[in-house]
Amino acid sequence: MNPAYVPNKRKYLFCGDHPGQQILAPLIKKAMNENVSFEAIFIGEKEETDIALWLQGQKMGCYLYIAIEWNKLSAIKKIAENCGFSDEEAQYIGHGVEMIHVFCCRCHQTTKMSRKGIKKPTRCSNCYLMLSVSDHFSPLKESYLGYMTTWEAGSD
């Protein structure tokens, strides 16, 4: 996902790891060209408490961009939300392999899988039931619902 520049904000906040900084570079350049206020931090050097303190110190009207590995994005997003940033005031850009959780309808445990494999059934890592991954996402469980399927390997 490529981030989109949102014009006319009081200040722009750019946070990213090394690949994330490369993703955000065109936006930082645009902010520089437009001579608008911005700050950029390297997330790899910061502890989560440092990021939280930095975000808490920002004033209203800031727009936040975070570009980091998928496996770390959820934790950083929660920090931003706890600091008062809504989905309308931020863009979260993940890179690398995106893993998702699938909630088993039988044993209620979750199984981790690559988002690329979402169209194919997966086996529950707890009860071994074959699951078809639905598009029903539970923010509470942070997982997609897996329904029992009769699909077996080689039956494509």
d(CA 69, CA 63): 20
Question: Would you state the pLDDT for residue 74?
Answer: 87
Buried b (16+ CB within 10 A) or exposed e, 115-138: eeeeeebbbbeeeebbbbbeeeee
Question: Would you state the pLDDT for residue 24?
Answer: 97
Question: Would you state the pLDDT for residue 91?
Answer: 97
Q: Work out the pLDDT band at 118, boundaries 50, 70, 90.
A: confident
Mean pLDDT computed over 14-37: 95
- Say which residue, 74 or 152, is predicted with more confidence: 74
Question: Would you state the pLDDT for residue 49?
Answer: 75
**Amino acid letter at 26?**
P
Domain ranges of the chain: 11-95, 99-148
- Calculate the alpha carbon distances from 123 to 34, 96, 107, 141, 145 in Å: 51, 23, 12, 18, 13
Question: Would you state the pLDDT for residue 147?
Answer: 93
Question: Would you state the pLDDT for residue 156?
Answer: 45
CB atoms within 10 A of CB 141: 12
DSSP classification of residue 155: -
Question: Would you state the pLDDT for residue 145?
Answer: 95
| Helix or strand (DSSP H, E) at 18 | helix 18-33
Q: Which of 26, 24, 85 has its CA nearest to residue 51?
A: 85
**Amino acid letter at 29?**
K
Q: Please state, rounded to an integer, the average pLDDT across all residues of the chain.
A: 90
- Say which residue, 60 or 1, is predicted with more confidence: 60
Compute the chain's Rg from CA coordinates: 19
Q: pLDDT tens, 51-93?
A: 999 999 999 999 999 999 998 998 999 999 999 999 999 999 9
Question: What pTM does this model have?
Answer: 0.75
Percent with pLDDT over 90 in the chain? 74
